[in-house]
Amino acid sequence: MSNLNEHIRSLREDFSKMKLDESMVKTNPFDQFEVWFDEAVTSNVNVPNALYLSTANSEGRPSGRIMLLRNFLNGGFSFYTNYNSRKGKEIEKNPFASITFFWPELERQVRIEGKLQKQTMEDSDEYFMSRPRESRIGAWASAQSEVIADRKVLEDVLENVTKKFEDAEVVRPDWWGGFILIPDHIEFWQGRPSRLHDRICYKKDSKENWKIIRLAP
């Protein structure tokens, strides 16, 4: 490509598939999320449970990565990770975070902000044991976010862990488990023409009630 910046500047997408207004949404944001998530699944959105998790360290320096939603209840959104990873250490120091879903096929985005807390050991055990055996062994083999010399280091550790569990059940390591984001802010974004998008936001008040407001695009 001769001029990448020129190409980037020329990219345009005018969204026009659907609209969103206050009369269309559920009173509870979790019910509204379920409606949109179901529509993402039935519309064959690519990896509908992929989310972008943003965390920040104690100095406020942000970092982000793609994760997978593994459950959402009337209270929070959960994912699983290595607690000793960069995100795990950042969450330990600063539990406030945000997650974002983007479903381009539907011209939709959901932004969720709140506070993370660890899931119970029982919940983490249950999910870990539902994973394929190879994935459970992989969790033991990877010191996530640590510097390693090359790929062979990882493969050697994997070989040793595989031998260790050759005749044993692969149980959850103590340093691996779930987090659940308890939200106080959930925004549903629907793309509209001329960048005049619809943004319907649920904000939790001091009495733990959800208030629905509209934001300017």
Question: CB of 110 within 8 A of CB of 181?
Answer: no
CA separation for the pair 13, 211 (Å, rounded): 31
- Chain centroid to CA 154: 26
CA separation for the pair 43, 99 (Å, rounded): 22
CA separation for the pair 177, 41 (Å, rounded): 26
Q: How far is CA 36 from CA 150, 180, 216, 217, in A?
A: 42, 20, 21, 20
Query: What DSSP state is assigned to residue 191?
Result: -
Question: CB of 54 within 8 A of CB of 97?
Answer: yes
- Considering only CA atoms, which of 52, 70, 59, 71 is closest in space to residue 112? 52
Task: Provide the 3-class DSSP secondary structure of residue 15.
Answer: coil
Instruction: Show which residues are catalytic.
Output: 195
